[in-house]
Every structure is written in structure tokens, then in C-alpha cells.
Amino acid sequence: MNLHGVLAIYRFEMARMKRTLLQSVVAPVLTTSLYFIVFGAAIGSRIQQVDGVSYGAFIVPGLIMLNLLTQSISNASFGIYFPKFVGTIYEMLSAPVSMLEVVLGYVGAAATKSLILGLIILATASFFVDLQIAHPLVMLAFLVLTTLSFSMMGFAIGIWADNFEKLSLVPMLLVTPLIFLGGSFYSIDMLPPVWQTISLFNPVLYLVSGFRWSFYEIADVNVGVSLISICGFLLLCYSIIWFIFKTGYKLRS
């Protein structure tokens, strides 16, 4: 294992976060605060509790997941796309670092940045609502697995994208709608039976549900199923990246 190579990529990507604090940290925290203010005032006044939890506290896990997914994809995709854009990726590919080491550097940095942001948002949420975390270790497990898997997804998107438009195509048209329809701001028990069944085909539902269970021990699906789902998605994303490096897809030309 070339730890020097991994750390070089990791430190370079983490340094970019320091240069873009307004975009990387301040903007998502302000956006989350607005969600609390708007949803707390507009919906919280009409829905006092969901499954015995105040509505403001109920949406906290969903808001954290919303930011984790979008930021993980954004950080990882831009991190690998920019070297492609300027042509420096060929220097990295010719360096004595393996595919695993490249992924560890880029994905590790993207996941770290998203994890830090998630913890900051969690601390911010505590100023608006009374939070309780019933299972902190399970919560951390979901945080780590989610940031790693969606950072890998973003890494694959960054390699696939040919321009900046494609870079935001999947997050905007696929991931964001799935987040909003995945029980981030409601329980699927509130939906008609037909839509409850349809919601079960939304992979984000399992993330939000399992993450919410770690807070309040309430979930739309079994927490064990949620953990298996995110682990399976993690393996799928790694398999896609392995295939990309094995075949040289979008890397050799």
C-alpha cells in the first residue's frame, strides 16, 4: 500500500475544502437552517408530532441525509472530474499508485468532508429542536457507510461526465427527487397504500429510515434491511469503479 500516494491525494482534496468554506460548509448549514425555519413554521404548526416525535425533530435525520448524499456526490465527482478537465489525471494514472489507492484518496477525502458537514448540521439542528440519539454507534455507521457509498457514486459520475452539465445531471434529475420522495420530511405511513408500496422501491427510503431509527427507534422499514441495503450499494459502487479502471473507460481517451 502506497500510503504516501494516498495521503497526497487526500490532503490535496481536503485543502480544497479550506479554500471553499463558504460553498462547502456555510451554504449547506444556512440552507438547512432555512429548512427548519420554513418547515417548522409552515408544516410544524399543522403536524405537531409524527410517531410520538415532534415534527421538527423528526425531519432532522432526513435533512442530514439530504446534505450527505448531495455533498458526497458533489465533492467526489468534482474532485476527479477537474483533473480530467485540465489533463492532470494522466500524471496520476502514470504514478505508482493503484486503483484502490486512488479511490481511497479521492473517496476518503470526499467522505470526510461530507461527514464533517453532517456533524456540523447535527450540531446546528440541536439549536432548533431537542434531539435524542438512541443508538449513536448505529448513527455513525450510517453516516460513514452513506458518505463512502455516495462518494464512490460521485467518483464514478466524475469519470463518466464529459462536461460540467453532465456532472450535475444525475444528482439533479435522479438523486434529489429520490431524497425528497424517500421519507425525508414525512413517514410513508402518511401515504395511501399504493404510494407506500411504490416508496419501498426508492433506495433512499432505506437510508433515511435506518438513520432515523438510530435517533428515535422509529422506522418505515426494518433497520437490518437498511444496513444490508447500504452495504450492498457500497459494493455495487466499488464494482463499477473497479470496472472503470479495469477497462480504462473514459480514462484512456
The per-residue pLDDT string of the chain (253 residues; one tens digit each, 9 = 90 and over) reads 777 778 888 888 888 777 776 666 777 778 777 777 777 666 666 777 777 888 888 888 988 898 889 889 988 888 888 887 777 777 777 777 777 888 888 999 999 989 988 888 888 888 878 888 999 999 999 999 999 999 999 999 988 888 887 888 877 888 888 888 888 888 888 888 898 888 888 889 999 999 999 999 998 899 999 999 999 999 999 999 889 888 878 776 5
157 contacts: CB under 8 Å, gap ≥ 6? 73, 76, 77, 166, 167, 170, 171
Cα 32–36–37 angle (5° rounding)? 115
- Grid coordinates representing 9? 491525494
Question: What radius of gyration do the chain's Cα atoms show?
Answer: 19
